[in-house]
Amino acid sequence: VHARDLDGSPRGPGPRDVLCQHILIRACSGPFEAEELYAEVVTAGPYAALTRAAFDDCLDFVATGGYALRAYDRWQRLKQRPDGLWALRDPRSTQLIRMNLGTIQDSDTVKVRMRGSHSQLGEIEEYFAASLVPGDTFLMGGQIVRFESLKEMHVEVSRDRGRKPKVAVFMGTKFSTSTQLSDRILDLLHRGDLTALPAHTRDWIRLQAELSKLPEAGRLLVESFPYEGRAHSCVYGFAGRGAQQTLGLLLTR
């Protein structure tokens, strides 16, 4: 942050979908005058350059559903009263709208069940299920199970106590490592002040350099080693989590 090297593209003007949501939420508080609401909106930095015509377009979209949804009554949310104020067409929808304020869709999950049974053991995130191949084991409901198949958004498993299981990690709305952050990590490893890092992180970097080597920009470090009777490979890529997770799925297939 101090270096002003922020993730993502620079933000542009305020998005119109957010403005439409704000108009609808404002209507939940009671009737409003369009001119007054417009004057309030343009006091926010991202909407300082918003034209009245653009604001009216958003107001019309919320009121009528736009050209695509105009024919459906449920999307005609607002109406203009005889006194010129805008209000919810159906005041009973206020509670439903407020209940969904700030709703964020979490990562999708799939149900886990024993093969040949309809009883559910629990749920795991879809991205974790996609990383499994037949024969992989993981811990679910206090027991070690073996992945058999993924059918109709259900993971089918069987019992297997013989091997060390994978850990089903629940990442939720995960904060992905960006390419900007990856570049800064590489720069820190080779040119940064490591004394400012936590002790356990410094120890890991020291051991990595002694036993193998530190990753470098423009080069791909791959380590192969045996562990607990199985062959393992570790790839140090710095292309950002999204790209690396996709490449990892391709390699395992």
- 28 sits in which H/E element: helix 16-28
Per-residue pLDDT of the chain (253 residues; tens, 9 = 90+): 787 777 767 778 899 999 999 999 999 999 999 999 999 999 999 999 999 999 999 999 999 988 888 777 778 889 999 999 999 998 888 888 887 776 565 667 889 998 888 788 888 888 788 888 888 888 887 788 999 998 878 899 998 876 677 665 555 445 567 778 888 888 888 887 888 889 999 999 999 999 999 998 888 899 999 988 888 888 888 887 777 778 877 877 6
Residue 92: its pLDDT value, please? 84
Residue 31: its pLDDT value, please? 95
Residue 172: its pLDDT value, please? 45
Q: What is the CA radius of gyration of the chain?
A: 27
CA dist., res. 222 & res. 94, Å (int): 56
**Would you state the structure tokens that stand for residue 214, as one six-digit string?**
């530190």
Question: Among residues 137, 178, 186, which one has the least CA distance to residue 159?
Answer: 137
Q: Which residues of 126-148 are buried (b: 16+ CB within 10 A; e: fewer)?
A: ebbbebbeeebbbebeeebbbbb
Residue 55: its pLDDT value, please? 97
pTM: 0.49
Residue 173: its pLDDT value, please? 46
